[in-house]
Amino acid sequence: MPTRYNLCKTGSGRYQQLNSEQESAIVRSLSIYGFGDCIRFSKKTGHNSSFGSYWGLENLGCFKELNGYQRLMNMSRSEVKRLAARIYELLFISQKRRKRYYETEPQIDETNPKYQQIHKELRTLQKTQKRLIDSNILVFPRISIEELACSDSW
C-alpha cells in the first residue's frame, strides 16, 4: 500500500506538517516552517526502538552532491534521488569514516527495496506539498522573530 501523508500541525501547534500515520513509512514527516522544510525519517531497530534523523533542507549543502533548498517541492527529480540516497546511506549503510560520508557521493543500488521506498515516499511528499499549495490548502508561513533569532545563532 502506498504511503499517504496527511496535513496536520507540528507538536507546537504553530506550523503545518505532512505526516505519515503508517508504521512502515521510513520518511515520517515533512515539517513546513517559515525558513524552509525539514524531513524526519527513521527505521526500526528493535521491538520498541528506532534510529533516524531530522534534516533541514537548507543544510543539505554539507553533502558534496546536494545544495541547500528551502522547499521539497522545488527540488528536481535528480535532486530527490540524491537526497533519497543520502537518507538510505545514513539508515542502512555503516559509516565508519565520517570524511567519506561528506566528500563522496553514496554508491547505492537503486534496485534495493528500501532505497526505492525512500525515493517513492519523498516523491509522494513532494507531489502532496505541491498539490496542497496549488489548491491554497497549504500556505507557507512567514518567518517569525523567534526563527530569525534562532537562525542567527547557527
What is the per-residue pLDDT across 65-107, written as a single tens digit (0 to 9) for each? Answer: 888 899 999 999 999 999 999 999 888 886 665 555 556 777 7
- Cα 22 to Cα 1, 4, 5, 8, 47, distances in angstroms: 10, 8, 9, 15, 16
pLDDT band at 38 (very low <50, low <70, confident <90, very high): very high
Interval 28-40 mean pLDDT: 92
pLDDT at 128 over 90: yes
Nearest to 130 by CA among 34, 42, 40, 30: 30
Residue 100 main-chain phi, psi, to 5 deg: -60, -35
Q: Are 7 and 137 in contact (CB under 8 A)?
A: yes
Three-class secondary structure of residue 115 per DSSP: helix
